[in-house]
Amino acid sequence: MSIGTPKYSAEGSTGAEAATRDPLTPGVKRWQLRFPRSLRTPLGFVGAAILLIWLIVAVFAPLIAPFDPLAQDFPRLAAPGSENLLGTDTLGRDVFSRIVVAARTTLPAAVFVVICSAVLGSVLGAIAGYFGRAVDEIIMRIADLVFAFPTIILAMVIAAALGPGLKNAIIAILLVSWPSYARVTRSLVMTARSSEYVIAGRLLGFSAGRSLVREIAPNVISPVVVLATLDVGSAILTMAGLSFLSLGAVPPTPDWGAMISEGVSQFAAWWIAFFPGLCILTIVMAFNFIGDSLRDTLDPHTAQEVGETTS
């Protein structure tokens, strides 16, 4: 093997092994789309099935919701029945319709904030791990400052300072979520930069950007993807917590956290808070199942360490 064609190590070549050589055209890589092994496990299958159901609900919410989620056309605090499947709230709005429509807000917002957090944290962590010294100190001390406060408390402070609203809630969660990705990426980059193929690239005159993107990134993506999948559930919980405290979506926009907050003061009307809470439970459980399965597939060393620790 020539020094100009770096080869990834067996431990970190998960991202690079997705491409296979085309036998008809030697030297040309052909990408293959395969069904993930992680979803073939019981937990992965259950999580994927639940997530698929919620995605269908979010996409076709206007068709699934039987009534206008904002219309106050029914008796107040009506119990679940044939007309109102999950009952009505304190203003006479159909709870089922509001839950279905709220999925269109909660799921895209949670996925968006996790993607932004993963990109921001990974970029900052890669810069800190690759260059080190003063750059590393500055970035990681800022991350430590964020870690010094509980996530929900700091998110509450930021959201309260920015004002209620879904956009401000997303910004607040983004600002408190990126340090975890920065730490993971930094540790992985610091390990990979001392590898032989990275050192060979430096000797050939590769720039820092090329070395990070083409040589180090394929060995860093898998753990970040696993962490992001697990973090979607945490983002949903944090967003629901902010809405519960009236710092998230502004009424009358349907939101699961706001619906739970409304149901807390109505103990007799248990359905107002129970069904939105059940929705949060199922979607968070689905992402956790998928994240655990992806970890076992994409990051087997971490899964083995976790198993040894818990045993």
Q: What is the pLDDT of residues 27-56, one digit of tens each?
A: 444 444 455 665 677 888 899 999 999 999
- For 226-256, what is each residue's pLDDT tens digit? 899 989 999 999 999 999 998 988 888 899 9
- For 149-172, what is each residue's pLDDT tens digit? 888 899 999 999 998 899 999 999
Q: At what angle do helices 95-131 and 256-264 cross, to 10 degrees?
A: 120
Q: Is residue 10 part of a domain?
A: no
Q: Is residue 88 part of a domain?
A: no
Q: What is the CATH number of the domain that holds 149?
A: 1.10.3720.10
Tell me what the pLDDT averaged over the chain comes to. 82
Share of the chain above pLDDT 90, in %: 50
Q: What is the SS3 assignment for 311?
A: coil
Q: Is residue 268 part of a domain?
A: yes
Q: What are the beta bridge partners of residue 94?
A: 88
Dist. CA 238–CA 175, nearest whole Å? 12
Q: Is residue 224 part of a domain?
A: yes
- For 167-209, what is each residue's pLDDT tens digit? 999 999 999 999 999 999 998 888 877 777 676 766 666 666 6
Q: Is residue 77 part of a domain?
A: no
- For 104-116, what is each residue's pLDDT tens digit? 989 999 999 999 9
For residue 250, what is the DSSP state? P
Exposure on the CB side of residue 107, measured as CA atoms within 13 A: 22
Residue 18 has pLDDT above 50, yes or no: no
Dist. CA 197–CA 8, nearest whole Å? 7
* Structural domain that includes position 275: 39-62+94-310
- Give the model's pLDDT for residue 296: 76
| Tally of domains within the chain | 1
Residue 297 has pLDDT above 90, yes or no: no
Q: What is the pTM of this model?
A: 0.78
Q: Which helix (H) or strand (E) holds 30?
A: strand 29-31
Q: Is residue 21 part of a domain?
A: no
**CA-wise closest residue to 58 among 15, 111, 11:** 111
Dist. CA 237–CA 207, nearest whole Å? 41
Residues 294 and 38 sit within 8 Å (Cβ to Cβ): yes
Dist. CA 101–CA 230, nearest whole Å? 24
- Give the model's pLDDT for residue 16: 44
